[in-house]
Amino acid sequence: MKNKFLETGKIVGTHGVKGVLRVQPWCDSADFLKQFGSVFTDKEGVNRLEVTSVQPHGNIVLMAVKGVDSIEKAEVLRNRIIYIDRKDVKLPENRYFIDDLKGCTVTDADSGAILGKLTDVSETGANDVWHITNNGREYLVPAVDEVIVSVDIDAEAIVIRPIKGIFDDED
């Protein structure tokens, strides 16, 4: 089941004395966060923060929110995870939320064999790496066009054509 509210970053500190939040973004680009008029500090969407500005600043984002106008008010939010409402974003084709990929069954395109479940995603810079777990063993698969055949989030199914040696222990 898809989560309605998705993790998108963490408030890691403050910037200046006027309540600006330093946010570590958990998305492809800090600019992604510019499109949201509000974020939430809980996965149920109860605690809403109205965003007044978002500015990328190196590897973090400086975010100002309504009602947080002092360093003291901002400090209360330190270490909180921020969430976005799924309905507020439209992903480009062949882009997925990591939360939606986790738990999908991964199948070999050629043999039809079940290779395991996708349990995590590492963002390496060049390309993401998918962690596929089967019988307690973890396999690392590059998430590149040459490997990924299809992804069906609704069916929780991923079909890949793995690079030789990843699953068959070849040299």
Phi, psi of 72 (to 5 degrees): -65, -45
Strand-strand pairing, 128-134 and 81-85: unpaired
Per-residue pLDDT of the chain (171 residues; tens, 9 = 90+): 578 999 999 999 999 999 999 999 988 778 888 889 999 999 999 999 999 999 999 889 999 999 999 999 999 999 999 999 999 988 888 888 888 899 999 999 999 999 999 999 988 878 899 999 999 999 999 999 999 999 999 899 999 999 888 887 544
pLDDT of residue 1: 58
> Which fold would CATH assign to domain 98-160?
SH3 type barrels. (2.30.30)
Q: Which residue has the tokens 């600006």?
A: 20
Whether the model pTM is above 0.85 = no
Helix residue ranges per DSSP H, the chain:
71-75, 98-101
Q: How many CB atoms sit inside 10 A of residue 16's CB?
A: 10
Amino acid, res. 121:
V
CATH 2.40.50.100 fits 5-88, yes or no: no
Q: Domain spans of the chain?
A: 5-88, 98-160
- The CA angle 151-157-163, to the nearest 5 degrees, is 65
